[in-house]
Amino acid sequence: MIEIKNLDKSFGNKAVLKNINILFEDGKTNLIIGQSGSGKTVLMKCIVGLLEPTSGEILYDGVNFINLDKRAKKKLRIKMGMIFQSAALFDSMSVMENVMFPLNMFSNDTFRDKVKRAMFCLDRVNLLNARDKFPGEISGGMQKRVAIARAIALNPKYLFCDEPNSGLDPKTSLVIDKLIHDITVEYNMTTIINTHDMNSVMGIGDNILYIYEGNAEWTGTKDEIIQSENTLLNDFVFASDLFKKIKEYETKKVDY
């Protein structure tokens, strides 16, 4: 569980995040949605400690990350898995070596156990057969799955994904969403996903935070989003005709 309290982030005199309060639950895919430039990445970077908030608290299972000393922060970081916009794999390493990387960096297990763990993670994303390939030799969707395998190698308690579907076709995006959702439930992780993909919202939006110009404008679930009367949210979510129709249908404004 990650709780954000009264979080502000400014760059100079530009306020990017304004008094964010939100609870991200275990075993759920918690989505942060909003237009490009609304503050999703800055929020995620504050949560994982890549940016320092101007004020506020970030509680990891009750512990305020901001107050921790360097050593304690490092210890907590090992429990965080991250998947960023580009898969960010090491091009010169094989698929297997990519997944082994965090294990070699942070695990004291024997080589044999590390290999076993890497194989397990690759099998979990259905990529055992591609273990000797290099990132340049596999598709974008496969690269994302390697990134997921690498992110879960250390058995993280918290998983962060910034636009995991960027650059993927809709069908592959569904596969990635399902995989992230399944492992979240399976390992009871607190998963936070930045997205502006409405398919993801409707597919895996257990909890949704809508950010508008740095404000936490709306929170709810994928079922609640359909019924929401929030104009700013609706302008964003139902910008496409397809989702407008879904909303009309769901709220029984029209008969089909």
Name the minimum Å distance from CB 209 to ligand ADP: 12
Q: Return the ∠ at Cα 112 (arms to 110 and 117), rounded to 5°.
A: 95
Of 66, 69, 38, the C-alpha closest to 54 is 66
Q: Long-range contacts made by residues 213-216, C-beta under 8 angstroms, separation at least 24? A: 213/38, 213/39, 214/15, 214/16, 214/17, 214/18, 214/38, 214/39, 215/18, 215/19, 215/20, 216/19, 216/20, 216/21, 216/22
Residues that contact ligand ADP, how many (by CB under 6 A): 10
* 38 belongs to the binding site for ligand ADP (CB under 6 A): yes
* 41 belongs to the binding site for Mg ion (CB under 5 A): yes
- The distance between the two most distant Cα atoms of the chain, rounded to a whole number of Å, is 63
Among 4, 42, 99, 152, binds ligand ADP (CB under 6 A): 42
Name the minimum Å distance from CB 37 to Mg ion: 8
Of 149, 167, 203, the C-alpha closest to 33 is 203
Choose among Mg ion, ligand ADP, none what residue 102 binds, the Cβ cut-off being 5 to 8 Å by kind.
none
Name the minimum Å distance from CB 7 to ligand ADP: 13
* 39 belongs to the binding site for ligand ADP (CB under 6 A): yes
Name the minimum Å distance from CB 163 to Mg ion: 6
Binding mask 106-145 for ligand ADP (x = CB under 6 A): ----------------------------------------
